[in-house]
Structure 1
Amino acid sequence: MPVWSEKDPEKIDVNTAAVSGTISSGGGQAQLEEVFSAVDVPVIPTVEALEEMQTAALKEARLAKEKREVDSDSIPTIMAVADDCWSKRSYRTNYTAVSGVVCT
């Protein structure tokens, strides 16, 4: 029996949702493996993940060159959008976290 993370499975599949959730909460491959091991779900091996990332990077570089988005040395430039947060709160004391989260 399939289990969906979204009401509309065409919108986002469970694998994409798991990776997106892990990244947005500041985690990475190791954290994803840790959570999935608790529910006995295999994850993509690190070597395969690196190969997929390299393939994606080469594709992005090719697309940037096709659009002539290169610097003066003809090195492809890829726009990156980032957001960050830093937890602060005041419950009768002044608290500021020693770390923050950045999502790129």
Structure 2
Amino acid sequence: MSENRENKDTLMPINETAVHSILATGGGYSQLRGFSAGVDMHCVSNKTFLKHMKNVSEAIDDAALQSMLDAAEEEKAIAIRDGKLDSDGVPMCIVVADGEWCRCSYKTNYDSLSGVTNLVSMLTGDGDSCVHRKLFETMPYGPNLMVEKVECMNPVLRNY
């Protein structure tokens, strides 16, 4: 099937693909071993898993960084187009941020290897989010521009 693909240079080797798939579902080496046993497939060693995990993680980091840089340039262009500049001419963008990390314990101390953060143009939080506190402490836009928190309705209603 891979012979029918147009660009073979973009295909990942099978072991890296397996490691990527396991990481994407929040698993690790033991989950890969269990899956491999379930499909009667040889499993890579832990050392090889770690090597592939490093390669996959670097590729994901590079792709995520490029995506964020592209989005930042687009937001900057929109702010300039709309005339949303501060007194120094710096484009002002509204940022929406929220995140989560899987901690389903089921009587064990389990932390997923993957989490998620969403950034979309205006800061919101879910009542128990630490995003606003960290932004307030670090003052990423300087002391003259404070980050404003806008509560989401669902968590507010749920907490009520």
Normalising by the smaller structure, the TM-score range is 0.3 to 0.5
- Give 1 or 2 for the bigger CA radius of gyration: 2
Structure with the higher fraction of residues in strand conformation: 1
Structure 2 length-normalised TM: 0.29
Structure 1 length-normalised TM: 0.41
Structure with the higher fraction of residues in helix conformation: 2
